[in-house]
């Protein structure tokens, strides 16, 4: 483990976070063969002693490795290096792993590359996305990974039997009750539609025309957006729309303006196309308009991701004026507008978009359920044909026609609005309680940004970074976890957090806060 320890020290300086550094050190060890396949990792207890960190930190690093398949774990049997992943990632280290074509050519003849199949020569695009994938994979575990962590925490932290894990991380959302019953009815209907001749006639490359009509009606009613169904392009989630827009609109080395911090998916989309990220600073009201020299801007005015800031009307107009001057496109990602806790929403940019500069992107993964892979973009007429060409390159037909039709039926019958009202009733008291708790007990530690919609609350740390690290460790020891939002930052800023509440309840949140108070006391000790 000597090599791992050296790597850990180096990575700790680089990343700042202990669990991230430990994760990277172990991952490197697995990839370079220091930790061979089927070898057993030390227990969290001995790792914690070895590295002078808490067992929670070790558990979190192990959990990331688990979530990505580098290691395998079974309760009571320990954690082993996965056999599979060593084959998958059989290269020396991240930086040297994949040669671009340019490098390969520079190195010599094809003969020299022979039998070099474990390190394939990738295109420039391939090289970029593999690098991006390695960078993004340090994001803290999501709902799924957390399930695995629960097992770990419960088995490994059995000295804290009272501390059943409480997570404020976003979790996979599923349908329940009447919403689920309505969805099943819609699916049955869609399944019948699917075997009729008329079905394929209403399906084009960019999606089921009935769903596109239903979305037009919905955004017209709830967001004031006037669009025709032909302007609505359906995708396998909004990320596909973001990536294809970048491919279509920017070349390598072109500047693209994004909010700092912003959704990592946008950073990946720009990076994959080879674009240069220009991080635009935010204040508590969102992005600060400037005279960027760029032709593409990604922005979340309705509710900034991740901060939750709502962009004032004057700034919205400034952005549109900028786009008009620069002949630029604005991609408005309205990822989280369906659940509102108070106040009236401002008009989205798309509703103010008189010169057809704005591409409006939305999704159903949060408002319906996580496994429903349907997102959409409402686009200016000039982009319809290029976007059809882009989508039809990958597939001549929509990727999930059954679910698209089911969602069309669900929306047309009014089930979707009923579902949103039902969920709003369910989530509002949770939002209010979390808001109350955070602004009470944790208001000295974090600067919480007020928000009137969405499924999480964002705060930035007000004290020393080292104190945040200790606090997070103590919280993990007590079984409390949240989504670390620092990874959304482009320029490094103060530690930041997102607390999600949709999956939890008032009692759990209160218990969580009590433990966080205890964690803070221990941090100060």
Residues numbered 64-93 forming contacts with a copy of itself, rule: CB under 8 A? 84, 87-90
CB-nearer residue toward a copy of itself: 343 or 396:
396
Indicate the angle between helix axes 264-272 and 124-136, nearest 10 degrees.
160
Q: Using CA atoms, how far apart are residues 448 and 450, in angstroms rounded to an integer?
A: 6
**Site size with a copy of itself, rule: CB under 8 A:** 96
> Can you read off the two tokens belonging to residue 29?
């060890």
Strands of 112-217, DSSP E: 121-122, 166-167, 203-204, 207-208
Shortest distance in whole angstroms from residue 393 CB to a copy of itself: 5
> Which listed residue (74, 180, 290, 313) binds a copy of itself by CB under 8 A?
180
CB-nearer residue toward a copy of itself: 8 or 322:
322
Shortest distance in whole angstroms from residue 115 CB to a copy of itself: 8
Shortest distance in whole angstroms from residue 524 CB to a copy of itself: 38
Contact predicate 290/299, CB 8 Å: no
Q: What angle do CA 16, 22, 26 make, to 5 degrees?
A: 145
CB-nearer residue toward a copy of itself: 55 or 89:
89
Q: Which of residues 338-397 bind a copy of itself (CB under 8 A)?
A: 355-357, 370-371, 373, 380-386, 388-390, 392-397
466 interacts with a copy of itself by CB under 8 A? no
> Can you read off the two tokens belonging to residue 136?
């993004």
Q: Using CA atoms, how far apart are residues 492 and 260, in angstroms rounded to an integer?
A: 9
Contact predicate 309/286, CB 8 Å: yes
Q: Report residue 447: phi and psi, to 5°.
A: -95, 105
> Can you read off the two tokens belonging to residue 323?
């786009």
CB-nearer residue toward a copy of itself: 113 or 508:
113
The per-residue DSSP string of 133-154 comes to HHHHTTSPP-HHHHHHHHHHHH
Contact predicate 444/459, CB 8 Å: no
200 interacts with a copy of itself by CB under 8 A? yes
Shortest distance in whole angstroms from residue 277 CB to a copy of itself: 15
Q: Using CA atoms, how far apart are residues 262 and 17, in angstroms rounded to an integer?
A: 20
Shortest distance in whole angstroms from residue 389 CB to a copy of itself: 4
402 interacts with a copy of itself by CB under 8 A? yes
Q: Which of residues 26-55 bind a copy of itself (CB under 8 A)?
A: none
Q: Quick check: helix, strand or coil at residue 462?
A: coil
Q: Segment near a copy of itself (CB under 8 A), from 139-147, 314-322, 414-422, 487-495?
A: 139-147
Beta bridge partners of 234: 376
Q: Which of residues 248-307 bind a copy of itself (CB under 8 A)?
A: 248-251, 254, 268-269, 272-273, 295
Shortest distance in whole angstroms from residue 174 CB to a copy of itself: 6
CB-nearer residue toward a copy of itself: 92 or 124:
124
56 interacts with a copy of itself by CB under 8 A? no
CB-nearer residue toward a copy of itself: 243 or 438:
243
Q: Report strand pairing: 456-461 vs 329-333.
A: unpaired
Q: Phi/psi class of residue 335: alpha, beta or left (left: φ > 0; alpha: ψ in -120 to 50)?
A: alpha
403 interacts with a copy of itself by CB under 8 A? yes
Shortest distance in whole angstroms from residue 340 CB to a copy of itself: 26
191 interacts with a copy of itself by CB under 8 A? yes
Shortest distance in whole angstroms from residue 204 CB to a copy of itself: 8
517 interacts with a copy of itself by CB under 8 A? no
Shortest distance in whole angstroms from residue 441 CB to a copy of itself: 31
Q: Using CA atoms, how far apart are residues 303 and 454, in angstroms rounded to an integer?
A: 8
Q: Using CA atoms, how far apart are residues 318 and 288, in angstroms rounded to an integer?
A: 10
Q: Using CA atoms, how far apart are residues 259 and 243, in angstroms rounded to an integer?
A: 17
Q: Which of residues 99-138 bind a copy of itself (CB under 8 A)?
A: 101-102, 110, 113-126, 129-130, 132-133
Q: Using CA atoms, how far apart are residues 319 and 346, in angstroms rounded to an integer?
A: 15
Shortest distance in whole angstroms from residue 242 CB to a copy of itself: 9
CB-nearer residue toward a copy of itself: 75 or 174:
174
CB atoms within 10 A of CB 141: 20
Shortest distance in whole angstroms from residue 42 CB to a copy of itself: 26
Element (H, E) at 70: none
327 interacts with a copy of itself by CB under 8 A? yes
CB-nearer residue toward a copy of itself: 373 or 436:
373
- Picking from 422, 430, 456, 450, the residue whose alpha carbon sits closest to that of residue 142 is 456
169 interacts with a copy of itself by CB under 8 A? no
């Amino acid at each position: 483990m000597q090599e791992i320890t050296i790597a850990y020290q180096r990575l700790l300086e680089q990343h700042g976070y202990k669990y991230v550094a430990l994760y990277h050190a172990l991952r490197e060890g697995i990839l370079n063969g220091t930790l061979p396949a089927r070898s057993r990792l030390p227990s969290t207890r001995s790792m914690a002693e070895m590295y002078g960190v808490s067992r929670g930190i070790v558990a979190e690093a192990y959990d990331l490795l688990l979530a990505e398949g580098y290691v395998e774990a079974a309760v009571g049997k320990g954690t082993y290096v996965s056999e599979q992943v060593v084959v998958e990632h059989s290269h020396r280290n991240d930086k040297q792993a994949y040669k671009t074509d340019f490098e390969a050519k520079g190195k010599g003849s094809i003969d020299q590359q022979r039998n070099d199949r474990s390190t394939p020569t990738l295109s420039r695009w391939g090289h970029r996305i593999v690098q991006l994938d390695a960078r993004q994979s340090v994001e803290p575990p999501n709902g799924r990974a957390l399930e695995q962590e629960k097992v770990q925490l419960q088995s490994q932290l059995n000295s804290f039997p009272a501390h059943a894990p409480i997570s404020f991380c976003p979790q996979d959302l599923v349908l329940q009750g009447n919403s689920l019953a309505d969805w099943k009815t819609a699916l049955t209907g869609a399944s019948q539609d699917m075997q009729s001749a008329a079905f394929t006639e209403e399906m084009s490359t960019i999606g089921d025309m009935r769903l596109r009509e239903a979305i037009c009606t919905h955004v017209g009613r709830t967001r004031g957006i006037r669009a025709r169904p032909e302007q609505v392009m359906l995708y396998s989630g909004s990320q596909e729309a973001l990536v294809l827009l970048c491919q279509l609109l920017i070349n390598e080395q072109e500047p693209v303006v994004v909010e700092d911090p912003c959704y990592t998916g946008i950073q990946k989309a720009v990076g994959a196309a080879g674009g240069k990220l220009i991080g635009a600073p935010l204040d508590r009201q969102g992005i600060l308009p400037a005279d960027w020299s760029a032709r593409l801007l990604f922005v979340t005015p309705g509710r900034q991701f991740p901060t939750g800031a709502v962009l004032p009307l004057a700034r919205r107009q400034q952005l549109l004026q900028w786009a008009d001057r620069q002949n630029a496109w604005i991609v408005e990602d309205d990822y989280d507008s369906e659940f509102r806790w108070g106040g009236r929403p401002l008009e989205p940019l798309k509703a103010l978009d008189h010169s057809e500069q704005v591409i409006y992107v939305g999704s159903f993964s949060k408002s319906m359920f996580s496994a429903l892979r349907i997102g959409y973009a409402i686009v200016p007429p000039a982009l319809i044909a290029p976007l059809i060409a882009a989508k039809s390159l990958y597939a001549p037909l929509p990727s999930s026609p059954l679910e698209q039709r089911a969602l069309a039926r669900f929306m047309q019958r009014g089930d979707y609005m009923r579902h949103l009202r039902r969920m709003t009733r369910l989530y509002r008291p949770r939002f209010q309680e979390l808001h109350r708790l955070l602004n009470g007990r944790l208001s000295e530690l974090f600067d919480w940004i007020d928000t009137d919609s969405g499924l999480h609350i964002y705060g930035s740390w007000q004290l020393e970074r080292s104190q945040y690290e200790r606090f997070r460790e103590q919280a993990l020891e007590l079984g409390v976890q949240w989504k670390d939002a620092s990874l959304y930052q482009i320029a490094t800023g103060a530690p930041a957090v997102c607390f999600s509440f949709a999956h939890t309840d008032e009692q759990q949140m209160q218990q969580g806060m009590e433990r966080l108070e205890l964690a803070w006391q221990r941090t100060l000790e």
